[in-house]
Amino acid sequence: KKLDLIFLEHTDPLHITQSLEHISIQNALFIVISKSGTTIESISLLKYMLDRYEILQNAQNKAHLFVITDNRSPLESWAKQHNLHCFHIPPNVGGRFSILSAVGIVPLAILGFDVEALLRGGRNMADDFFERRAEHILHKALVYATYREQIPMNVLFSYSSFFEHFNAWYVQLWGESLGKINVHHQKIGLTPIALIGSIDQHSFLQLIVQGKADKSVTFLSVNPAHNLIPCIPSLELTFLESTDFVNGKSFATLLNNQRIATMQTIANEGILTDCIEVMRLCEESIGMLIMYFELLTSCMGILFEINTYDQPGVEYGKQRLKALFDV
């Protein structure tokens, strides 16, 4: 649907002001998402919305706000008090693993995406894994665990700008889940790095190829066969003849060949490399991709002998933040 989805994820005043500049209560729906119900960023932004748009002043304004949170959370109690609609997150699903819960499904359904296909893709990947038809996930986790000292950094090199937000999720999923103290009281973890191709071929690739060999690289690409438009015009420009070898080819083909050339360059240096190719960019394939990374992360947690699903280091920071305001 022709709706703009705007994320107010943090407390940057410049971003808040710019994002809301042309937003009125009549043409907006505010969705407050907090698993615990007390996330300081989400609740502070909620307070700002309530004040700026006078949301609680009447029933008509209240219809422009609903909540996604845990059952019986403080946020749900507040929502019930004001007769606001509330969707629940399963209690055993942490925030970074919650994409395929109401957290992701409800906004996507409002936008008109096929959420049943998204969930079907996730379920198919999970079924393949637990029925032992996706052993490549276990193999990959074992390789990462085996070489964790020599190769402590994992690069996700995604060859499409569509994956920009997916990359950001991967960084949170990998970092927050795996950076822990294990049962042997050892600090352990793998550092996630997210890149977009071909943009980062002109920045980070040099470090991967000729820098310290302490990084593995996973390439994520979309099969170009379904995206043959637009094409590069067959124009011959004076002094620019060296670029004519791509004339008449689709931009998708150029991007895919850039990915292949980069892969070959990296593999030639003996760097641990693998590739995930999305055959068709659609809800079902994205559901599979999300579940793939969630399963891979869970496997890594077992091999690292950690609790993949908590985040005590983050909680320490929250406690210190509160202490700063209590002074």
* Class level of CATH domain 115-312: alpha beta
Residue boundaries of the structural domains of the chain? 13-113, 115-312
- 88 flagged as catalytic: no
- 202 flagged as catalytic: yes
pLDDT at 327: 62
Encoded tokens for 295:
């399963």
Residue 11 has pLDDT above 70, yes or no: yes
Which residue, chain included where needed, has tokens 């407390």?
11
State the pLDDT confidence band at 191, using cuts at 50, 70 and 90.
very high
Of the candidates 261, 277, 258, 272, the residue with the CA atom closest to the CA atom of residue 163: 277
Are residues 133 and 209 in contact, defined by beta-carbon separation less than 8 angstroms?
no
Of the candidates 56, 95, 94, 61, the residue with the CA atom closest to the CA atom of residue 78: 56
Q: How far apart are CA 62 and CA 56, in angstroms?
A: 6
Which residue, chain included where needed, has tokens 């060949």?
257
Catalytic residue among 35, 76, 140, 176: 176
Q: How far apart are CA 274 and CA 215, in angstroms?
A: 12
Catalytic residue among 1, 202, 212, 241: 202
State the pLDDT confidence band at 183, using cuts at 50, 70 and 90.
very high
Q: How far apart are CA 140 and CA 145, in angstroms?
A: 9
Are residues 194 and 158 in contact, defined by beta-carbon separation less than 8 angstroms?
yes
Rounded (10°) CA dihedral 264, 265, 268, 273: -60
pLDDT digits over 200-255, tens only?
Answer: 998 999 999 999 999 999 999 999 887 788 999 999 999 999 999 999 999 999 99
**13-27, 136-150, 177-191, 307-321: lowest mean pLDDT where?**
307-321
Q: How far apart are CA 12 and CA 298, in angstroms?
A: 32
Type of residue at 42: S
pLDDT digits over 34-69, tens only?
Answer: 999 998 999 999 999 999 999 999 999 999 999 999
Residue 4 has pLDDT above 70, yes or no: yes
pLDDT digits over 96-153, tens only?
Answer: 999 999 999 999 999 999 999 999 999 999 999 999 999 999 999 999 999 999 999 9
CATH superfamily of 13-113: Glucose-6-phosphate isomerase like protein; domain 1 (3.40.50.10490)
- 176 flagged as catalytic: yes
Taking CA 215 as the corner, what is the angle to CA 213 and CA 221, rounded to the nearest 5 degrees? Answer: 130
Which residue, chain included where needed, has tokens 């907006």?
28
pLDDT at 294: 98
Helix (H/G/I), strand (E/B), else coil: 199: helix
Same fold: 13-113 with 115-312: yes
pLDDT digits over 283-326, tens only?
Answer: 999 999 999 999 999 999 999 999 999 888 777 777 787 787 87
Are residues 120 and 282 in contact, defined by beta-carbon separation less than 8 angstroms?
no
- Alpha helices (runs of H) in the chain, residue ranges in sequence order: 13-19, 40-53, 59-62, 74-81, 102-111, 115-130, 135-146, 164-178, 205-210, 251-268, 283-304, 312-326
In whole angstroms, how far apart are CA 170 and each of 50, 175, 289, 309?
Answer: 32, 8, 11, 15
DSSP letter at 161 equals: G
- 31 bridge partner residues: 66
pLDDT at 296: 98
Are residues 314 and 176 in contact, defined by beta-carbon separation less than 8 angstroms?
yes
Encoded tokens for 20:
């809301």
Helix 115-130 to helix 102-111 angle (10° resolution) is: 140
